[in-house]
Structure 1
């Protein structure tokens, strides 16, 4: 498909979403023969870096966004489409270009570029870059997935997310980039929507933030664009994006804390909140390396999807926000009748059917649920009556048990759940009722800590010894910052929890805190 065909396809899609007036201005340079805006920049336009994502066996998405003045209104760009050249090479020296073309960076999408590269070889590294005018981006590494059904000895990937800009540096991302993973799964909370604050009132007292958000709480499209720009200007985050392709999903802070469907935490009229959602959804697409199949339609964005790595790995990326019913118990830790509500949903009926069918039909050794909120039903206040986190799967007993029963009854083997959100590392096993933990575990779960949210953290939070003692399904916990590496072979799924001793200074030291593994064909995790 030529670049003009791709542009025409995106134009038709945008016409359906935004209407003719918004798209006709984009079409004028190509359809009337007029020149595109001349790419002459007083300031370097690739300030937000590059990224690749959603790899397949013959290609991947490559992304950049032109923003010479990232935090200014208009971000230093003209109100006109700009041509951006792209190249893909089979070695870092870029001497052999295997694919190239010209993409259009439209102002309607914040001058973002999403190129879906195809026709490449499976299961190998490629490198890519962009050029606008005389300016050239940094070089990024991408990697295609193995051919469908191919035998595979190993996949090694990273898991990360929850990167509150104010509460720490992104040193963990720099270390993650050095790991050279096959891909990165980002479980969400890529940005935080809060206003800029000098002081953060942590559980241990006031803490001065190491850096501050630009401006107030974000609501408009311009607000969200600037917030993404501020995060993406961080060079450690840029290094992680340039190191490997990412599979991204969102959690709550990409829009507003603890939102679900058209409900926010403040009880704003859903019609008003949907205006904010629409701005946030567009900004998310603009700034992530997503395919055109995820192009937003109003407040909606198709973000649940699936990737396979040969016969080894079936990766199911879930959306636990967009189709969920309201949190029970007033969204406060505790227990109430609404936890047992029969009509409660976490991923919605359509997504649930898609997921369960994919799990039942899977021929892969490992079946992974890559998602956002904890599935272990921990009692958070042992000895004081049962208390669950209502913003986790534990607050939605019926859909949680329905999914686990399907996995058990249909004998879906080697199921691993990957989770974020908690700002802690957890490793444990999944049962229909964690308090009873009867029979063999149905699946296992690895919860990965934050990159920076929560500040430096500690090895063990004061309340966790009591919680772990009362919840035998929980095998490990840790509350430092970092990421996880998952090393997957036909014999085992090993998760290595990598932590930093500090993230409020830039020289934090990285170490392996623990390794936990699941052996293929067996149930229950063990320490590796």
Structure 2
């Protein structure tokens, strides 16, 4: 290996608390490990659980972070200021009897004693299980999965997506129910944690539990906040259930931040770029991300592309770090800045990367995993457009360029996945929203929050004013939950799951609505359950469990 490349590996691997595992060197050098490692931890350091992320066809990232005292005020989790040796193991079976790979990583104090292990050389399209060891302590077991071979569709993909988990606003029951669905892949679309001080952001009816520490502005503060969230057993269960693809939104740093601009530039506060750097570093330390995403000062490469065989390509976007500041003081406005063609929510480099990805894609489904509402949401029935300047509505030309890009590239099935707005939505996407009779050119599915906003309420979509003003908006529900999809060659089926309450733990989840996107048919179609002809069962044409058939129709 050339000297420069070797030095790059050491700096971004060991110094970052990461160990790259490759077929020719499955185990770290014992001498190096002994030199860097120190005494074993004296209490269980795996209080934050384990995670897997960014799967490829031959591997994935494994993550843990050592923290025997996760709520220590200094954000160090009760760990000493010295590196610690951590062993990792990957198994072919859930009971951890058939070991297929193992090695040693080093949890370094300068990276919060986090561990990122990048694995390759594994078999495509199959489950694996993994765990870590530090001294006498063994972590919980997590489930990983590799993507199908690049030239294979593989079987149907069970993909879920979530967003917006405000710890104070409720219990993370939806994470637990999601884990019980056993998905193949989970996308987290932002607001994984919230920066607010205790009780400064209250849910209707009051908060049910408290944040530790002041508003997060320092590295210690962000580390502590991430640790507090991962002490929640339901969140840990969701991380251990399947590989994750993560992107941030605003609350991982500061509400409604944009590029180098905080929410309140006029408010006395620490230097925002220093705060951004601290938030980025803590985010990397606490997420299953590859070395490509190691932050470098105030910058962090988070937009990336993950392929799931020929079935789907996930274009994971960052709509915060490169955007122009929101126009007209943010919020809902009739704002002339929204149509300025020079303004961008992605930045020029990310936009060109995305358009190039459209041109090169051969996937059946091209999925944009991103943060804020993509379709137009006008809340004014008159001629003026009153829209959210924090969403794509505040960057109309940017949205049109992206939409035109997938049209020009002949993308077969463009689907936008969204979080942020604390409610379930489904929408048909248009090139020109001023022409409601124009063709649909894509589909948008929006996940409600895990807890943010408290319980919310069940709602009749027909009564929501946005749906009357915007005929391309097809569904709305204001309860908490998640979306789980089944991605097949012929269709993508999305179940909008909800829980009745987050003020008490343990609620059951149910499907509020189901929408289907048919192959080569842009737009969403709601489905309804109809009873099957009883003769189908008596004739042996169905299983005992197959008691209904899906009929797809537009409401």
What TM-score bracket applies, with the shorter chain setting the length? over 0.9
Shift of residue 386, structure 1, vs aligned partner = 2.1
8 Å Cα contact 2:13/2:291 also seen in 1: no
Secondary structure of 2:412's match? coil
Cα distance in 2 for partners of 1:198, 1:263 equals: 21
Match of 1:240 among 231, 238, 241: 238
Match of 2:172 among 170, 173, 179: 170
Partner of 1:121: 123
Secondary structure of 1:490's match? coil
Shift of residue 66, structure 1, vs aligned partner = 0.4
Q: CA RMSD in A?
A: 2.4
8 Å Cα contact 1:373/1:392 also seen in 2: yes
8 Å Cα contact 1:153/1:490 also seen in 2: no
Secondary structure of 1:103's match? strand
Partner of 2:222: 224
Matched, 1:308 2:307: yes
Cα distance in 1 for partners of 2:35, 2:123 equals: 37
Cα distance in 2 for partners of 1:462, 1:308 equals: 34
Secondary structure of 2:349's match? helix
Cα distance in 2 for partners of 1:467, 1:35 equals: 58
Cα distance in 1 for partners of 2:15, 2:157 equals: 39
Partner of 1:83: 85
Secondary structure of 2:301's match? coil
Counterparts in 2 of 1:32 and 1:434: CA distance versus 1, 3 Å: closer
Cα distance in 1 for partners of 2:66, 2:203 equals: 36
Shift of residue 353, structure 1, vs aligned partner = 0.9
Q: Could you tell which deviates more after superposition, 95-104 or 459-468? A: 459-468
1:176-187 matches, within 5 Å, as: 176-187=178-189
Shift of residue 219, structure 1, vs aligned partner = 0.6
Matched, 1:493 2:492: yes
Secondary structure of 2:440's match? coil
Instruction: Please report the TM-score for the alignment, with normalisation by the length of structure 1.
Output: 0.92
Counterparts in 2 of 1:338 and 1:15: CA distance versus 1, 3 Å: farther
Cα distance in 1 for partners of 2:526, 2:48 equals: 40
8 Å Cα contact 1:419/1:448 also seen in 2: yes
8 Å Cα contact 2:379/2:465 also seen in 1: no
Cα distance in 2 for partners of 1:220, 1:71 equals: 15
Partner of 2:550: none
Cα distance in 2 for partners of 1:117, 1:6 equals: 18
- Stretches of structure 1 that go unaligned for 5 or more consecutive residues are 18-28
Secondary structure of 1:331's match? coil
8 Å Cα contact 1:68/1:76 also seen in 2: yes
Cα distance in 1 for partners of 2:145, 2:400 equals: 36
Secondary structure of 2:271's match? helix
Shift of residue 44, structure 1, vs aligned partner = 1.6
Shift of residue 442, structure 1, vs aligned partner = 1.2
1:427-506 matches, within 5 Å, as: 427-460=426-459, 465-506=464-505
Partner of 2:27: none
Cα distance in 2 for partners of 1:288, 1:258 equals: 21
Shift of residue 195, structure 1, vs aligned partner = 0.1
Cα distance in 2 for partners of 1:51, 1:153 equals: 23
Secondary structure of 1:460's match? coil
1:400-452 Cα distance to aligned partner (Å, 9 max, x none): 11111122233222100000000010001111232422421111100110000
Cα distance in 1 for partners of 2:183, 2:135 equals: 32
Match of 1:262 among 260, 263, 267: 260
Matched, 1:188 2:187: no
